[in-house]
Amino acid sequence: MSSLMIVAIASSIAMLLTWAWQQRTKNAGIVDVAWAFGMMAAGPWYAYTGSAPLSLKVSLGLLVAAWFLRLGIHLASRVFNEAEDGRYLAMRKALATHASLGFLVFFILQAGFIWVLSLPFFAVAQNTQPQPVLVGLALIIAGIALWGEATADRQLAKFRQNSANRGKSCREGWWRYSRHPNYFFEWLHWFAYPLMGWGGEYQYWLWLAPAVMFTFLYFFTGIPFSEQQALRTRGDDYRQYQQSTSMFFPWRSKSDSR
């Protein structure tokens, strides 16, 4: 059985078990945790089964494991300590009596996303002629992205812990320059894979990784849902935040020039 097939089967089983868990808890946010840990497992697995030199396989495995382990732990701390995320609560209300079936389809789709979005890991793991300088550059970019996203998440968590900030938008740290700095650094991290895979069979195809991730984050699964939820819960404060702060790319806040 191929390594790709194993990831597809394992992801589907994991998501079915996760769906069963949310059936009891009524907290569909667990799907994000399962997705992150599924991606974390796929990277080292592809590295282990790939044909790339050992140094590249180790670099790939550690990069993917570090990135998605941190993300998974961060998401788990929210899912197990907070009420269901507003995005999934709105979905549950919209689905009404069809929520069980609707979430089943949604969870299975997430298994498909694990398989598709982990393909860059598979491609890098097949690169038998990596370019050391580009691999080094990739690790630097991934390190900066990891630091940036972790910092943004800490800043937001600290802001939310203060009850006086309820109903307000975080404008501290990275959040002063971007409404979604976590998504920006998530996107930045995906540039590591075409650099690591350069010289291999899939060197050109790998540039689709950051392009596809930008498309999903900017137009579909990331920013649109987050913006809608923010407007529902923070109203005018978030509308003011929208007017002063870049949506995705970190940039000087308009309030700084006043």
**159 and 191 housed in the same domain:** yes
* Distance, CA of 27 to chain centre: 19
Listed ranges 72-86, 87-101, 185-199; the one with the highest mean pLDDT: 185-199
Query: Residue 229: which domain range?
Result: 128-258
> And the tokens for 54?
């050992």
Residue 193 pLDDT greater than 80, yes or no: yes
CB 72, CB 33: distance < 8 Å: yes
Residue 138 pLDDT greater than 90, yes or no: yes
**11 and 105 housed in the same domain:** yes
**221 and 197 housed in the same domain:** yes
Q: What are the φ and ψ backbone dihedral angles of 190, each rounded to 5 degrees?
A: -75, -10
Q: How confident is the model at residue 257 (pLDDT cuts 50, 70, 90)?
A: low
**119 and 163 housed in the same domain:** no
Residue 153 pLDDT greater than 90, yes or no: yes
Q: How confident is the model at residue 254 (pLDDT cuts 50, 70, 90)?
A: confident
Residue 63 pLDDT greater than 80, yes or no: yes
Q: What is the pLDDT at residue 253?
A: 87
Percent of the chain with pLDDT over 70: 98
Q: What is the pLDDT at residue 1?
A: 76
Q: What is the pLDDT at residue 223?
A: 94
The pLDDT tens digits of the residues spanning 156-171 come to: 999 999 999 999 999 9
Residue 57 pLDDT greater than 70, yes or no: yes
**119 and 132 housed in the same domain:** no
**132 and 258 housed in the same domain:** yes
Q: How confident is the model at residue 132 (pLDDT cuts 50, 70, 90)?
A: very high
The pLDDT tens digits of the residues spanning 174-186 come to: 999 999 999 999 9
Distance CA 30, CA 53 (A): 36
**73 and 24 housed in the same domain:** yes
Residue 24 CA: distances (Å) to CA of 18, 19, 60, 83, 86: 10, 9, 36, 14, 18
Mean per-residue pLDDT, 110-127: 97
Q: How confident is the model at residue 256 (pLDDT cuts 50, 70, 90)?
A: low
CB 188, CB 214: distance < 8 Å: no
Residue 112 pLDDT greater than 90, yes or no: yes
CB 190, CB 209: distance < 8 Å: yes
**91 and 146 housed in the same domain:** no
Count of domains forming the chain: 2
The pLDDT tens digits of the residues spanning 196-247 come to: 999 999 999 999 999 999 999 999 888 998 999 899 999 999 999 999 999 9
Q: What is the pLDDT at residue 20?
A: 97
Q: What is the pLDDT at residue 110?
A: 96
Residue 245 CA: distances (Å) to CA of 17, 148, 219: 40, 18, 18
**9 and 102 housed in the same domain:** yes
